[in-house]
């Protein structure tokens, strides 16, 4: 492994904040292996060849970024062999860059060699347990048997909780492009088209706008089934599109409603109005210093007072490089509501969504992306919010 050289480039993230978070967690150094956190720590770099998938031959792509607390000059990046071209283009800030791995075990072995050459008594290494393959973990434990291995997902998530101006710009772009794609799709749907064809149309529209299509949950008519299928659209069907489009790694995740070749009746107008009222109530408390849990409390208070409560759900979660990142505001998912009693900060981004599973009329939902600003909030991709004409 190349010997570390003095850092010649600026570290593209708040390394002092990361040092504090690592200190609080008792972590001496990090071996980061998720594509989203590697992207963040490399200042936006994401290897194009494995942007969509990880599998290659009999192994998988595993980028490894090493960072030692308080010593960014010891940082190293281990990439796949084809990343030598990116190295030639000077994409990396880390003083050491090695691009000769072919497997996940290779990558971890190269990173361990770097750590051993430092020889400075690292005792606790943080890894991302959900993003560490078993073969790479075995190499790590064998190569650094006297080192304590702990999970570092939490401090890395805390590092990303507050978005920079550039990140907010990317989230705004992703949200607006998703909405534009939905409106273009609504214009193209027609009776006889299948739900699967509708999703394919949305995918093309998102790709044409520079997004990486990730998913689309969609419904039609009175059905509550959100999977793409051969169900055919009919005149008068209500339609929901709930899609995630990725722009340079940042996700736009929104939901909008439409009605096919018809106008909504008074009941449909009222039902979507209930959903919208809850969405707006959730926004009202958003500003720096307010406890994050107030978003959920305001929405749930209104929802619980509604006659539609038995078939409604409200959810709020952080958005950024991944969905459901910090701030964590609810506890009925795969995580705790850690941030519910903590103050919101400028730059935090929250997805708020209200869903109605009406037993007669079908699936009605709005999902919005809202950023905390210095004085309040900003909705991203905020329009249109009513029943959109389709077909």
Could you read off the pLDDT of 338-374 as tens digits, one per residue? 999 999 999 999 999 999 999 999 999 999 999 999 9
Give pLDDT tens digits for 102-152.
999 999 999 999 999 998 789 999 999 999 999 999 999 999 989 999 999
What three-state secondary structure class fits 344? Answer: coil
CA distance 282 to 305: 15
Give the per-residue pLDDT at 7. 46
Closest CA to 355 of 285, 287, 306, 391: 306
Burial of 7 (0-12, 13-18, 19+ CB in 10 A): middle
| CA 59 – CA 54 distance, rounded (Å) | 9
- What is the three-class DSSP state of 260? strand
d(CA 367, CA 353): 4
Mean pLDDT of 162-166: 97
Residue 65 has, within 13 A of its CA and on its CB side, a CA count of 25
What is the rounded distance in angstroms from the CA atom of residue 135 to the CA atom of residue 332? 33
Q: How many CA atoms lie within 13 A of 225 on its CB side?
A: 9
User: Which pLDDT value is given to residue 25?
Assistant: 98
Residue 210: Cβ within 10 Å count? 12
pLDDT for residue 288 is more than 50: yes
Residue 366: CB atoms within 10 Å: 23
pLDDT value for 8 = 64
Secondary structure of residue 208 in the 3-state scheme: helix
**DSSP letter, residue 147:** S
Across the chain, mean pLDDT equals 96
Q: All domains of the chain, ordered by start, with CATH? A: 15-160 (3.40.350.10), 165-390 (3.90.230.10)
**H/E segment holding residue 124:** strand 124-127
The 8-class DSSP code of residue 4 comes to P
User: Tens digits of per-residue pLDDT, 8-43?
Assistant: 689 999 999 999 999 999 999 999 999 999 999 999
């Amino acid at each position: 492994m190349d010997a570390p050289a003095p850092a010649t480039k600026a570290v593209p993230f708040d390394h002092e904040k990361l040092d504090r978070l690592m200190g609080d967690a008792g972590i001496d150094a990090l071996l980061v292996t998720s594509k989203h956190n590697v992207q963040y720590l490399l200042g936006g770099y994401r290897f194009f060849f494995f942007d969509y998938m990880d599998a290659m031959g009999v192994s998988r792509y595993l980028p490894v970024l090493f960072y030692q607390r308080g010593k960014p000059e010891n940082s190293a990046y281990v990439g796949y062999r084809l990343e030598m071209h990116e190295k030639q283009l000077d994409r990396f800030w880390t003083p050491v860059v090695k691009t000769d791995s072919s497997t996940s075990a290779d990558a971890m072995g190269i990173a361990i060699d770097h750590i051993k050459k430092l020889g400075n008594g690292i005792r606790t290494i943080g890894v991302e347990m959900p993003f560490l393959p078993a073969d790479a973990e075995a190499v790590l434990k064998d190569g650094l048997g006297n080192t304590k291995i702990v999970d570092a997902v939490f401090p890395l998530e805390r590092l990303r909780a507050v978005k920079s101006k550039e990140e907010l710009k990317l989230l705004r772009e992703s949200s607006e492009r998703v909405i534009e794609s939905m409106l273009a799709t609504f214009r193209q749907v027609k009776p006889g088209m299948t739900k699967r064809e509708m999703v394919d149309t949305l995918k093309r529209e998102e790709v044409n706008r520079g997004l990486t299509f990730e998913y689309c949950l969609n419904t039609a008519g009175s059905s509550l089934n959100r999977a793409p299928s051969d169900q055919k659209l009919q005149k008068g069907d209500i339609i929901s599109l709930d899609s995630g489009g990725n722009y340079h790694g940042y996700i736009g995740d929104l939901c909008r409603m439409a009605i096919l070749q018809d106008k909504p009746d008074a009941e449909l107008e009222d039902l979507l109005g209930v959903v919208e009222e809850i969405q707006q109530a959730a926004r009202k408390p958003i500003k720096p210093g307010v406890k994050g849990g107030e978003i959920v409390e305001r929405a749930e208070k209104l929802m619980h007072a509604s006659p539609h409560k038995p078939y409604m759900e409200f959810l709020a979660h952080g958005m950024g490089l991944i969905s459901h990142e910090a701030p964590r505001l609810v506890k009925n998912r795969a995580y705790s509501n850690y941030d519910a009693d903590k103050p919101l900060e400028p730059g935090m981004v929250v997805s708020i969504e209200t869903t109605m599973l009406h037993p007669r009329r079908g699936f009605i939902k709005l999902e919005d992306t809202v950023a905390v600003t210095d004085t309040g909030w900003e909705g991203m991709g905020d329009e249109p919010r009513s029943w959109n004409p389709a077909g």
